[in-house]
Structures are given as structure tokens and as C-alpha cells.
């Protein structure tokens, strides 16, 4: 999941906590939408991850 999010253009930093099932993402302001990040997670092979914005 971390590498999939890191590949999104404009993402500067990703931290994933598998225990809590949450990720924290730092982006360049205005360059990345929540929809792009959610799609990056949805596109992970195997489809076992689901993302929501908070």
C-alpha cells in the first residue's frame, strides 16, 4: 500500500500503520485529490485494500 500511494504524483510522504489499518499521506498542496489516493489503493493487485478519506 505504501509504495502504491508513494507513486501518485504529488505525494511527498506516506506512513502506513498496518495494525490500525490507516495511512497518513503528505502531499504537495492542491496537486493530489483524495479520489486519486483512494484509486491508487483500489488498484493494488489482489483488491484486498479499501480506502476512505478522513
6-54 per-position pLDDT tens digit: 999 999 999 999 899 899 999 999 999 999 999 999 999 888 888 888 8
Query: Which residue reads 507513486 in cell numbers?
Result: 7
Residue 27 exposure: Cα atoms within 13 Å on the Cβ side:
18
* 22 Cβ contact partners less than 8 Å away, ≥ 6 residues apart: 16
Domain that holds residue 28: 2-42
How many independent structural domains does the chain possess? 1
Cell triple for residue 1? 500500500
Domain-located, residue 47: no
* CATH classification of the domain holding 34: 3.30.70.100
Instruction: Tell me which residue of 35, 37, 42, 44 sits closest to 13, measured CA to CA.
Output: 37
pTM: 0.84
CA-nearest of 7, 6, 18, 8 to 49 is 18
Amino acid at each position: 500500500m505504501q509504495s502504491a500511494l508513494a507513486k501518485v504524483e504529488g505525494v511527498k510522504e506516506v506512513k502506513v500503520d498496518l495494525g490500525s489499518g490507516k495511512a497518513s499521506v503528505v502531499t504537495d498542496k492542491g496537486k493530489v485529490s483524495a479520489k486519486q489516493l483512494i484509486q491508487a489503493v483500489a488498484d493494488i493487485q489482489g483488491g484486498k485494500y479499501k480506502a476512505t478519506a478522513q
